Amino acid sequence: MPRLGSTPRPGGRIWLRALSRVVWLVALVALALPAGAVTLAREGRAPATLFLAAGATAPEETAAQELAAYLSQVTGATFTVTREGQGTARGASIYVGPTRLAAGQGIDCTKLGPEEWVMRTVGDSLILAGGRPRGTLYAVYRFLEDVIGVHWWNAYEESVPKQPTLEVTGLDRRGKPVFRYRDIYMLYARDGGRFAARNRLNREGDARISKEYGGGMDYGPPYHVHTFFMYVPPDQYFEKHPEWFSLIKGKRTAGRTQLCLTNQEMRTFFLQRLRKYIADSWAAAKKEGLPVPLVFSVSQNDWHGQCECDNCQKITAAEGSEAGPLLDFVNWLADSIKDEYPEVSLDTLAYLYTQKAPKTMRVRDNVIIRLCDTHSNFTRAITDPENKAFREHLLSWAKIAKNLRIWDYAVTFAPYYGLPLASLHTYAPDYRFYAENNVEGVFTEHEYEVLADMRDLKIWMMMKLLEDPYRDAQALIRQFTDGFYGPAGPLIRDYLAALEKASSEKISYLSMGASPPQYHYLDLDFIRNSQALFDRAEAAVASDPVLLRRVRHARLPLDRASLVLLPRLMRQWVASGKNPEVLPYDRDAIARRCKATWHAEVDRRIPEQRRQAERARADEEILPLITRRPYVPLPEKFRDLPAGTVFDYTADTSRNWQNRVKVVPDPEAESGITNRLEIPAEEMERYVLPMPWGLYNQVQKKGVGSASIRAEDVPGPGYHWYRMGSFPIVHSTYVYFFWSWIIQVDVDDVADSKRPDQKYAVWARVKFEGPRFPHGKPDQKNAICVERVVLVKE
């Protein structure tokens, strides 16, 4: 007869660590306990009575109902909820919430934190209790997960063991999440917060957690980020008060700028709006039975345009950072509300131009700094030398701020996002580093319900590590992969290990803007070996349609990479002496599987009103990938240069922004395709020659080189080669075109960390068409076509 609770599970005993600056700790400490077992079910019948505390709150009601429902599923017995004092125990008893029995055992729920929980067996009773609003709910979910073995893998799929006879013994556990604020944006389809609560998230982006699931740590209005123009809308106030807005090059400006943060009249108006938002939101929350919001965002807009007036720049100069005027403003607001609203904190961003901490200022204790990690390498932990810049920003803020939050990114955003991303191994060390350096919470953007790499596993891991970053990450991975993929679990782990190993051997600098050429570790050997691993994984679950579907979804990023990267992989194939007429794998079979998996997951995960468009998007991506030429030889101009000295980037490898530039077939292009920008008449003056182009490094945040193509440089109609110059290329460097930079071509795969001064000649093959360009025909549309970029090692 199974007896649960007597033997600690992996990760079930977590020793407190001596973290001098961590406020929120998890304590799951087994204490000396009375002997005996609590029999919850015997041979499919329920001798136990489930009592809910009198005066239970909505989340405590949910906790009792969830416990009854899952115990019924596990044992086959029927469990019903009875109010404490309204029934008599027939045998063993389960007490949920702040019951009299809990109080009699010294568990004073009024003294527990809002998410602190207790599970304890006493005699023939089981106590599950916690603080309000979410403590009891978390006690039940931890009991179901850690003791009973229920797992919620994603919002749609769970594992529930079957045990007709169920006993627990020797339980005395207590804990609370390490991070006070745990938030993942774009979790899954909205369910009122059920999946978030079950996995102890207390916010899920813009989707609200209902009161039944304990509410969430919602920001107050107007929004949780980029609020300057929400407080002071320029369309309402710029005409009357231009001095409230940024001074740019001697002129007050409201288009894609910020506020003048030292203007006292603007500050007073902003403070009035803030007080009204607090008062109104508190009244609304109390009416709905939800926790009142205790954090309000006062944060810069999502662009640059900071004020250049003398008063603002005086603070900037003194503090060595544009964060100076921002923090001066936010501290003033915080001081102005602290007596009236002592529980409220103001949240502001350290982002873009405010990422660097000021020299001398300190952050008020009722201010939260949310530091955004926009440039770190996803494949390396924060403690890695490659991520030194962000780590130093964090440590600098930690010295002057009591409360820090991280705005993190788990996905890339350039076209063909969702390729295999070797980032899973960084989660635990990153979260531990955060916990040890004043970080009280993490907000993570994890979009793309269907395409994001290993999304179910990665989100599940994030949720577990946000609750306790000191859990054994490898044990968690085993638990998920075995539980979710069944017999294919070990092969999925082999794939994950191969991915991590490949990324360690071929350094790839992958930040939020990474595009396919930057995935250096996705080479031909890795792709072919990984496809073979997934063939075996599918064979292991071939008789189980559910497990097969899950394995194929895990394979989707690899399948897409096999299609997207084929031209590069073909060059590796040909360079090894293989026939360019023979493909290294079955492209068409991969495309069919990719399309079928993509469509199936759209139907499972995407709301019905979006499904048709999402399926069409899948078809639109896959079709050109299987109809293009798989092997494109080097341009004729460079074909006779020594092997390994020419690096070619065709149009399908560029990152094109704003949906303006189209990759289209072009018979005049050697590669058969080109990036084409057709220019409307109203924008023509911005694109007349000279045409700027250049090199930019994202990590160093500076230009590496630039040039212009002048009218006199164009020798005739059609495509011609243009040389920018010779420059050293390091990681995270791209070539950009036009004043708008809307074509960007990553070229850092040529970077050699051992020879950072190695120079490369940068070339581009460009065509100008239409009457506004030299040699253009009057009947043509005005357009600029960039066929390819070539770098030549000198």
- C-alpha distances out from residue 485 to 231, 450, 478, 540, 546, Å: 48, 17, 10, 10, 9
Percent of the chain at pLDDT above 90?
87
> What pLDDT digit, counting tens, does each position of 750-767 carry?
888 788 899 999 999 999
Mean pLDDT of the chain: 93
Model pLDDT, residue 219: 97
DSSP of 669-708, one letter per residue?
A: STTSEEEEEE--GGGHHHHSSSEEEEEEETTTTEEEEEEE
What is each CA distance from 15 to 28, 29, 471, 681, in whole angstroms? 7, 7, 10, 68
Low-confidence winner among 154-158, 169-173, 272-276, 626-630 (lowest mean pLDDT): 626-630
pLDDT tens digit string along 430-460?
999 999 999 999 999 999 999 999 999 999 9
Q: Residue 27 pLDDT more than 70?
A: no
What is the predicted pLDDT for the residue at 6? 34
The DSSP result for 328-359, as a single string, is HHHHHHHHHHTTT-TT-EEEEEE-GGG-SPPS
pLDDT value at 221 more than 60 = yes
How far apart CA 196 and CA 38 sit, in angstroms, is 29
Tokens of 475: 């044990």
pLDDT of res. 21: 32
The 3-class secondary structure across 362-420, one letter per residue, is CCCCCEEEEEECCCCCCCCCCCCHHHHHHHHHHHHHHHHCCEEEEEEECCCCCCCCCCC
Q: Does the pLDDT value for residue 30 go beyond 80?
A: no
pLDDT tens track for 103-118: 999 999 999 999 999 9
| pLDDT beyond 70 at 15 | no
pLDDT at 36: 61
pLDDT at 1: 35
Looking at per-residue pLDDT, the higher value among 378 and 30 belongs to 378
Q: What is the DSSP letter of 65?
A: H
- Kindly give, in sequence order, each residue whose CB lies less than 8 Å from that of residue 414, ignoring residues fewer than 6 positions away: 513, 514, 515, 655
Instruction: State the maximum Cα–Cα separation within the chain, in Å, rounded to a whole number.
Output: 96
Write down how long the chain is: 794
Is pLDDT of 5 > 70? no
Q: What is the pLDDT of residues 564-573, one digit of tens each?
A: 999 999 999 9
Position 33 pLDDT exceeds 80: no
Q: What is the pLDDT of residue 11?
A: 35
Going by the DSSP 8-state scheme, the letter that residue 209 receives in this structure is P
**Contact between 132 and 139 (Cβ < 8 Å):** no
β-pair type (181-185, 439-445) = parallel
Q: What letter represents residue 117's amino acid?
A: W
Q: Contact, 721 vs 765, CB < 8 A?
A: yes
Neighbours of 712 (CB within 10 A): 9
- Mean pLDDT, range 83-87, rounded to an integer: 89
Residue 368 CA, chain-centre distance (Å), reads: 20
| Selected residue with higher pLDDT from 563 and 513 | 563
Q: What is the pLDDT of residue 740?
A: 92
Instruction: Output the six-digit token pair for 188.
Output: 């899954």
Residue 643 has pLDDT above 90, yes or no: no
Model pLDDT for residues 322-342, shown as the tens digit of each residue: 999 999 999 999 999 999 999
547 has pLDDT over 70: yes
Contacts of 107 (CB under 8 A, 6+ apart): 118, 120, 127, 129
The model's pTM: 0.90
- Strands (E) across 237-289 are located at 247-248, 251-252
Residue 748: pLDDT band by 50, 70, 90 thresholds?
confident
Domains of the chain plus CATH, in order, are 3-175 (3.30.379.10), 219-329 (no CATH), 636-793 (no CATH)
In this predicted structure, the answer to whether residue 773 has a pLDDT above a threshold of 60 is yes
pLDDT for position 513:
86
Amino acid 751: pLDDT: 85
